[in-house]
Chain A
Amino acid sequence: MSVEERDPHTGYLTTGHEWNGIKELNTPVPRAVYFFLIATALFSLGYWILMPAWPFGSGYTKGVLGIDQRQIVSQSIVEAARDRATWTTRIQQASFADIQADPALMMVVRETGPRLFGDNCAACHGADARGNKGFPNLTTNSWLWGGSPEAIAETIRVGINSAHPDSRVSQMLAFGRDGMLQRPDIENVVAYVRSLSHADLATDKTVADRIAAGNTVFANNCASCHGPDGKGDPSVGAPNLTDAFWIYGGDEQTVFDTVWGGRQGHMPTWEDRLSEVDRKILTLYLVDQRMAQ
């Protein structure tokens, strides 16, 4: 069986074995293979000498460069914080008004604000902060809890209906589900609420009657939170119902659902997750965006 043959194409001998027609040439291993084996082995050897590499007992060889990835990370974090300290300390110490008056600091706010917002807030409030159903538009002048930088910063710090002990707490009652109002009253008050932002609704006679009836329902049930004129109350987080901005929607069905089933939005607390500087930047970023409108 073991008969060596010469391959006419390459000129090499076969090993003399054959498996179902397959033969193997006895070609020597190309020099390059040995070369690269030795080269990569030498590289590895050098690397092992320089770097942490081989375990022994309860320790390992530390490498002559004394490099340790944990130290490098902590060190670069310290260095990065030091580099940023030029502006972080100023933002931390200055009042909102002072920061707003300082173009250099506002540059930082405009540069880092979008990233902080994109990574932490955009999932709910949208990448452009214009909100989604159930998540308020943050670029308007219509604030649930007040639009001063201090009020916004506090909302971000403690959240709304969140787990924070100082959380802002608010609730829109479920007037229909909990039996506080009958369906016709709700339909009337819905018409009234919608007329606050759609003056043209009253032109229809039957609708005008419902609006008038709804006005009374509103004064008795809703004004305590939303204010007698429906312009909202930032002390209880009740929204302004007279403007064009809606959290949940201003069409008849949605407003009906809101009054029937109630609402209670949840805004997380960021006190433990974002530094004070980051929260200040976010606050000013929102204020800045609104002023740009």
Chain B
Amino acid sequence: MIGQLTKGERQLALVILIFLGLVGLAMAAGGRHDPLGAHGALVIVCALAGLMAVIAAYFDPEPDPERLDRYYDDPSKIGIVIAMIWVVVGLFVGDWVAWLLVNPDLTFDAGWASFGRLRPVHTTSVIFGFGGNALIATSFYVMQRTSRARLPDQLSPLFVLFGYNVFCLLAVSGYLIGVTQSKEYAEPEWYADIWLVIVWVTYLVLYLRTLARRKEPHIYVANWYYLAFIVVVAMLHIVNNLAVPVSLGHAKSYSLFAGVQDAMTEWWYGHNAVAFFLTAGFLGMMYYYLPVRAGRPIFSYRLSIISFWGITFFYMWAGSHHLHYTALPQWVQTLGMTFSLMLLVPSWASATNALLTLNGAWHKVRDDATLRFMMVAAVFYGLTTFEGSFMAIRPVNSLSHYTDWTIGHVHAGALGWVAMITFGSIYASVPWLWKRESMYSPRLVEAHFWLALTGTIVYVMAMWNSGIVQGLMWRTYDDSGTLAYSFLDTVIAMHPYYIARAVGGLLFLIGALIGCYNIWMTIRGVPSAAPRVATDTAAESPVAVPAGAAAFRSGE
């Protein structure tokens, strides 16, 4: 990894790491009476680990100049491995909190093991740890290939990748020791937020530099989605996290916003995080891996344009559907609801575009679990967006809001769409990246697929039932005109569904563990007898012009 850096880059890396170590030192000293001190120590450890890695390889020979004729894939490889580590951590903690809801006494009386601290560990690990690393890894892969340009330098991709993971570590470890801003999906405190801004701007600049070097006349649609993801997440992150720390020696900060403005800013952020992190980025992934794996052209270029601008424009207005029937003025809710309804059209257009791209390749969907992961992801994407637009309708939301229905919706999106498209893309790219004929075991991919699908369905069905039962119980009145059930009654009614959900989550986790094993064996190069399914054409070099009709190779 370090061997790929030029001498100058190695020196720059040392400078950055020493600077990072000094920042950690300042945090540790200034925050010695505060959790900030612990995070200072964590930063120092990260910087030292980086320093050791760079110094150990510092005198290795410079990378050979021929590398410039090849794509730079080390960051993608590392990113995929890290993403798989995060997904196991995140799913494990997720299933743990699921069992906590079944049996609330499983906390061993320890503060760190309480539901309120473990839940954000789960959400951050899966969304930012797994999703984020997968997005960064695949975006590097995709932008190079669709631009036919190598990444402009060797250091900044590694800085983005490792810097991002330092942020994730700060976030997750912080929750366990009680550091949080109490803003959902934006829990990390000010110092971690500032660090992420630095990393993210580097990421944006890196992406733009690569695009500027492209040898293709046009920018492929996957890149628009990745770019929208990077640009908008930067904007959301900065605005929602505007805050004033108590002092430079304290982890705690206070938001610039208060009351209903705070709620609106948070859900403008929250919903667009769904839109541009969990949707746009993964649509970018889909627009590359699905057509390549299927060996089919994108069904409609025009549809992808309409969907892109529709999604980008409509999503921005929709956040207030998270605050229906609250202190938020009603006109804001009206806008949130109506734009959510219009949003359904470009969302379904994207899902349709993906599914119709598979026309002519359905036999592959049948035989190839990797492609089937992507197909099912597109179906769940359509399902989730339909459900989302439905739930955004005020009277529907009055039933669904605060119930497990929302959780069911989220996981149709998160397990069915985000995780499935990612697993599909990872299974597609691992053999390409490590130059293997195929995955170590296609049968294990198949097993993973069925576990993931069953797990998702069990989970989502359980939460739909539980949510609707819960919502109805909360609003049932008896003859005297008072509520028919106490809150406790509704909690007791949830119990069987919570068990079902935890079992579904366990299936999904087992699937991911099988995936890790399979990926590991593929990376180690353990041979397998499986036939080759599809390769990424000319995937190694920006110089070789891709062969003309390669994408139609499998056309009928």
Contacts and interface: CB of A to CB of B under 8 A. Distances in A.
Q: Which residue among B301, B489, B548, B549 has the maximum number of chain A CB atoms within 10 Å of its CB?
A: B301
Interface in A18-41: 18-30, 33, 36-37, 40-41
Q: Which residue among B304, B337, B338, B550 has the maximum number of chain A CB atoms within 10 Å of its CB?
A: B338
A102 interface: no
A44 B341 contact: yes
A114 B539 contact: no
Nearest to A80: B481
Contacts of A29: 300, 302-303, 306, 349
Interface in B256-308: 288, 291-292, 296-304, 306
B301 A69 contact: no
A52 B330 contact: yes
A68 interface: yes
A26 B482 contact: no
B419 interface: no
Interface in B331-358: 331, 333-335, 337-339, 341-342, 344-345, 348-349, 352
A57 B391 CA distance: 31
B345 A8 contact: no
Nearest to B483: A115
Interface stretch (B174-182, B213-221, B399-407): B213-221
B329 A52 contact: yes
Q: Which residue among B352, B488, B546 has the maximum number of chain A CB atoms within 10 Å of its CB?
A: B488
Range, interface on chain A: 35 or more
A13 to B, nearest CB: 10
A245 interface: no
Contacts of A7: 297, 360, 552, 555
A25 B299 contact: yes
A21 B480 contact: no
Interface string B468-496: 00000000001111111111110000000
A69 B342 contact: no
Given A9-B360, A122-B488, A53 B298 contact: no
Nearest to A18: B546
Contacts, number: 175
B315 to A, nearest CB: 14
Nearest to B314: A40
A150 interface: no
A139 interface: no
A23 B145 contact: no
B518 interface: no
A178 interface: no
B549 A5 contact: yes
B556 interface: yes
A19 B216 contact: yes
A215 to B, nearest CB: 41
Contacts of A15: 301
A84 B482 contact: yes
A33 B301 CA distance: 14
A1 interface: yes
B302 A28 contact: yes
Contacts of B333: 69
Contact of A84 (B296, B335, B480): B480
Contact of B342 (A44, A108, A115): A44
Contacts of A17: 216-218, 220
Given A43-B341, A60-B329, A21 B546 contact: yes
A111 B486 CA distance: 11
Given A25-B297, A30-B303, A112-B480, A19 B146 contact: yes
A18 B549 CA distance: 9
Contact of B301 (A24, A68, A118): A24
Nearest to A127: B488
B103 interface: no
Contact of A22 (B292, B299, B547, B556): B292
A83 interface: yes
Given A27-B302, A33-B303, A112-B482, A118 B489 contact: yes
A9 B555 contact: yes
B483 to A, nearest CB: 5
Contact of A20 (B145, B484, B555): B145
Contacts of A44: 338-339, 341-342
Nearest to B488: A118
A172 B333 CA distance: 56
Contacts of A122: 486, 488
B352 to A, nearest CB: 8
A107 to B, nearest CB: 8
Given A9-B360, A44-B338, A115-B483, A20 B300 contact: no
Contacts of A107: 480
Given A83-B481, A115-B486, A53 B331 contact: yes
B155 to A, nearest CB: 25
Contacts of A119: 486-488
A9 B553 CA distance: 12
A55 interface: yes
Contacts of B291: 22
A127 B481 CA distance: 22
B300 A27 contact: yes
A177 B331 CA distance: 64
A48 B339 CA distance: 11
A42 to B, nearest CB: 10
Nearest to A109: B480
Nearest to B288: A22
A75 interface: no
Contacts of B304: 24
A225 interface: no
B215 to A, nearest CB: 10
A54 B171 CA distance: 38
A60 B487 CA distance: 38
A21 B538 CA distance: 8
Contact of A19 (B220, B330, B548): B220
Given A8-B556, A22-B297, A51-B330, 7 more contacts: A1-B217, A9-B296, A23-B552, A27-B299, A36-B345, A47-B338, A54-B335
22 contacts: A14-B297, A18-B551, A19-B148, A20-B146, A20-B148, A20-B538, A24-B221, A27-B300, A27-B302, A30-B352, A40-B342, A40-B345, A43-B338, A44-B342, A68-B330, A108-B480, A111-B480, A112-B478, A114-B486, A115-B484, A117-B486, A118-B485
5 smallest CB-CB distances across A and B, nearest first, come from: A118-B486, A21-B537, A9-B360, A44-B338, A27-B300
Interface of A: 1-2, 5, 7-10, 14-15, 17-30, 33, 36-37, 40-41, 43-44, 47-48, 51-55, 60-61, 67-70, 80, 83-84, 87, 107-108, 111-112, 114-119, 122, 127
